[in-house]
Structure 1
């Protein structure tokens, strides 16, 4: 049987990168040996770079920016039209049904917190223990305040067994909502959404999909899957301008508690009462992120315009190349949730037993110009399930990833295990950094006050 990697040459694999260039795709970074290399960005699962087309669209509309919805001025009317058109584009990208509503949010976390606030009082919510914190904490911590109960269901050893466990739990008692990941931010795996929806709907349970890792990489259809809600982020969909979306059934969103109290969300206010708008205005109080919404819509249009299956094939080939390369290295172990899951999206997590993941990530950056993620990826229960509570290393790909970046990672890890780092590393403020790092900072305003060693330092979001 011919594999994806065998079918696609390097040129074929990199074709999508040429079709949809990203901002900064040729940015070089300094290495500790004094040379420079083009940055190998293998951290798309955290935040993806902007498409060049998205940046151009933002530049185009910035001169037209003004207040929306309540402005009589010409530019206010233009901005309102652009904002509402962006809403329609975003809804269309996830194949929303005619009666669905799209709410512009900040990101997936924001979207799921909003949804948690409109689940009817007294309802039960079911969530699996493999979820990103964005699809776990809102349900656990909002339960008391919003009057619903949340059950966290442990997964089983296989997809088939996990689906059976879900079926049994849904039949055991009534749940208003089941919320599941569309693709794990740790391994790229997921339960088959169509089957999950069928199981849930058979028991009268709605389904919300955390689409943060699914929507930008494979696309998603509310209509075809039957899912009731999907949430996703602009910063993972090549539009890092601060907007995300929640798209789905209107009824809960029309009547549930407004997400924010403020102007634009109300029809009438008196000292003794407030009359709220229906969705989406009900949950978009204050001045909305017009530019962010337009940027996200442009990214949606650009991804939708790719040849059918091109993005899927691109990422599948890159991931297969990465799996093959890492599997050949003695001393590297690839994490997997289930042995019977469908092909994952372009996210892969691995460990180097006996070696601190933060040290390995610092080495990859300082000596090879490779950006990966280390830590527990805001998915602590899943990392514990994978016996990686001390952290792991994640490599993730996207439209701008080339085969060279994947091959560089494999070569760098091989060198690390066979020869070892060329520089010394130490822990500073909990993070691995190069000892006496002499790499220069990028010449950009805002970094001039930092010491050179700060270029390798990590911030407080180590576990993202």
Structure 2
């Protein structure tokens, strides 16, 4: 992996050949966890020892089980950002040494991310504000019909629902079936029935954590003449993704799901559609030249090609650097260890929830066998908000409640008022899972005793 700037520069370096951009924070390969009785966290996250008050009068360590909303920063990522602050300056247009350093840091972050997702050498890597912004950019650059599933997060649904320039609808929604195989068959039938420009689909559900076979989805899209966009917001922190290996045309994700909560995201993919589209934002940095005619009313604008075309204004340098640092940190831990860690925690959580009367886990597909660290569930006799408040006030546990920006999915699963979601990651240990299961057992026992 290419290193990202972490340690302060000590000697000047020309912009064209910047000094090494990182003194890596030590992150040795971890030994696989084999003791299922005690599963420690896999990496250090900021806020791991944060304590919160409970209604019982106790102060307890906060059990963060809301990673799917925003994962805490990895300590290595926070340190990289801190080390970058002393050399922060303008990018792309400054002649000063720190401007050159900052520009090198920003551009090098693109290459680290490109390597992390195994993108093609000529793919554009465009920095955005997050997954939602990235998909809106993709929608801005896409011409033609777009096929989506009804299980999508709103970020991969609403941007496609905007009418085309002629006022016609261009989104075609396919209902997910009871099995993944039948769902893929329904998508193939839809794409074969009428031409579409793009298939846009989530890689992992933000409600249930179920993982879709993105390689098979890409094959379906391509043999029917469409490209594919993968919303990997809930996948890239948990699984190795290869744009080349999986056949992905466009990939989007957010830093704040990737242990880099510093306000940035990324769109990676084929450059032709992006270069053909009008700039996503008009402003400095996107324009190569601007001039007025003799009357002062005719404006001649030449726009840049490449990522700059859609990155007008001063970019979020630290957010980009943070994403790249998170990519490096995850590679250092190793996805084989991340997968084993989450599998042990997920099995522990599923087994625990199964022992509690009145708790039902949500599932989309009957045949799904792979999930990331997400569990959506319902507790009989309690609204999702009541459950979330009880867990927070009585046990110091943070979970998410509601409809998770996936209203059509919650409606079709039979939970129009929402559900509860627990999600975990590198900073989670078995103690956090056990505390959640114990608190839910207490809640349901008290309800039955009334």
TM-score, with length taken from structure 1: 0.86
Is the partner of 1:117 in helix, strand or coil? helix
One of 76, 81, 84 as aligned partner of 1:58: 81
Give 1:112 deviation, angstroms.
Answer: 0.2
**Residue 97 of structure 2 corresponds to residue 71 of structure 1:** no
Number of residue pairs matched by the alignment: 412
Is the partner of 2:222 in helix, strand or coil? helix
Is the partner of 2:425 in helix, strand or coil? coil
**Residue 32 of structure 2 corresponds to residue 9 of structure 1:** no
Instruction: Tell me the residue number matched to 1:156.
Output: 177
**Residue 411 of structure 2 corresponds to residue 384 of structure 1:** yes
Aligned pairs for 1:300-319 (under 5 A) are 300-319=327-346
Instruction: Tell me the residue number matched to 2:379.
Output: 352
**Residue 213 of structure 2 corresponds to residue 197 of structure 1:** no
Distance 1:368 1:144, change over 3 A: farther
**Residue 291 of structure 2 corresponds to residue 264 of structure 1:** no
Aligned pairs for 1:74-153 (under 5 A) are 74-120=97-143, 123-141=144-162, 143-144=164-165, 149-153=170-174
Stretches of 4+ aligned residues off by more than 3 angstroms = 10-13, 142-148
Is the partner of 2:209 in helix, strand or coil? coil
CA distance in 2, matches of 1:143, 1:23: 44
Deviation per CA, 1:14-53, whole angstroms, max 9, x where unpaired?
A: 2xx24x2000001111111111111000000000000111
Distance 1:68 1:398, change over 3 A: same
Deviation per CA, 1:374-429, whole angstroms, max 9, x where unpaired?
A: 0000000000111011110000011101110001100000011112599xxxxxxx
Give 1:218 deviation, angstroms.
Answer: 1.1
Is the partner of 1:9 in helix, strand or coil? coil
One of 228, 247, 266 as aligned partner of 1:226: 247
Aligned pairs for 1:325-344 (under 5 A) are 325-344=352-371
Aligned pairs for 1:227-246 (under 5 A) are 227-246=248-267
Instruction: Tell me the residue number matched to 1:450.
Output: none
Instruction: Tell me the residue number matched to 1:453.
Output: none
Distance 1:296 1:11, change over 3 A: farther
CA distance in 2, matches of 1:398, 1:137: 28
Any conservation in 1 of the 2:163–2:170 contact (CA below 8 Å)?
no
RMSD: 1.8
**Residue 349 of structure 2 corresponds to residue 322 of structure 1:** yes
**Residue 440 of structure 2 corresponds to residue 413 of structure 1:** yes
Any conservation in 2 of the 1:116–1:142 contact (CA below 8 Å)?
no
Distance 1:244 1:145, change over 3 A: farther
Distance 1:260 1:169, change over 3 A: same
Is the partner of 2:171 in helix, strand or coil? strand
Instruction: Tell me the residue number matched to 2:70.
Output: 47
Is the partner of 2:186 in helix, strand or coil? helix
CA distance in 1, matches of 2:390, 2:336: 35
Is the partner of 2:349 in helix, strand or coil? helix
Instruction: Tell me the residue number matched to 2:319.
Output: 292
Deviation per CA, 1:160-214, whole angstroms, max 9, x where unpaired?
A: 1111111111110111000000100000113211111111100111000000000
Is the partner of 1:72 in helix, strand or coil? coil
Deviation per CA, 1:223-251, whole angstroms, max 9, x where unpaired?
A: 11001011000011001111110001111
CA distance in 1, matches of 2:289, 2:227: 32
CA distance in 1, matches of 2:335, 2:411: 37
CA distance in 2, matches of 1:186, 1:144: 33
Is the partner of 2:162 in helix, strand or coil? helix
CA distance in 2, matches of 1:110, 1:295: 18
